Structures are given as structure tokens and as C-alpha cells.
Amino acid sequence: DIRVAQSPSSLSASVGDRVTITCRTSQGVMNYLHWYRQRPGKAPEVLIYGASNLQSGVPSRFSGSGSGTDFTLTITSLQLEDVATYYCQHTHSIPWTFGPGTKVEVK
């Protein structure tokens, strides 16, 4: 099974800051890597699919990059509504697995 790690596990930043979250998989997953945001008490919602494709309706401050085993989610200007836990997930091979999450707070 492919293991998914994320860093940091949590971060605190100010509104307007640039935030970067990294995801590393134990084996290459090509671009089968996706990012989700889960606001408190809500269902996850996809932000980025295929490593770098912005899901329709998602603000352009979100971007993704990477391929193989190392990936990055960037929020160029953190907003209050971005307080959430962010998960990466691969769908390269069964079982699809999620990372442990990165909790983002606003100072």
C-alpha cells in the first residue's frame, strides 16, 4: 500500500500570508494526487485534482504542483474561510489513501 505523509501537521498564519503544505507518497503516484479542504464540521471538498488542476469554483488563490512522490499545495493569500484541515489523497492504486491532514489556523 502507498503511504501518504503531510507536513506540517499544523500551522498558524495571518490573513494574507502565503501558506505551503507538502505531501509525500511512499511510491510514485504520477499525478494521481488530490487536495481537499475540510472545514470544521463539514464534509471535505476537492480543491486540486491531478496534482495541479483547480477544481471548478475553487478560488484561484489555491494551486498545486508536483509529480511522482512530492507534491505541494499553496494558498497565495490566506483568508479566514481557509481555517480548515487539508488532506492530500492518492488514487494511483488501491487502496486509495488520505494523508493525516494539516490543520490551518489563522493568527
Partner 1 sequence: QLQLLESGPGLLQPSETLSLTCSVSGDSMKNSKSYWGWIRQPPGKELEWIGDMFFSGSVRYNPALMSLSGRVTISIDTSRNQFFLRVTSMTVEDSGFYFCARRLIRGVSYFDSWGQGTQVTVSS
**Coil, strand or helix at 76:** coil
Which residue in the set 34, 66, 84, 102 belongs to the binding site for partner 1 (CB under 8 A)?
Answer: 34
Does residue 93 belong to the site contacting partner 1 (CB under 8 A)?
Answer: no
Q: 11 — alpha (psi -120 to 50), left (phi > 0) or beta?
A: beta
Phi-psi region of 92 (alpha: psi -120 to 50; beta: other; left: phi over 0): alpha
- For CA atoms 91, 29, 73, 99, give the dihedral sign: positive
Q: Does 106 bind partner 1 (CB under 8 A)?
A: no
Choose between 36 and 62: whose C-beta lies nearer to partner 1.
36
55 is a contact residue toward partner 1 (CB under 8 A): yes
Q: Is 62 in the site for partner 1 (CB under 8 A)?
A: no
Q: Which residues of this protein are in contact with partner 1, per CB under 8 A?
A: 1, 31-32, 34, 36, 42-46, 49-50, 55, 87, 89, 91, 94-101
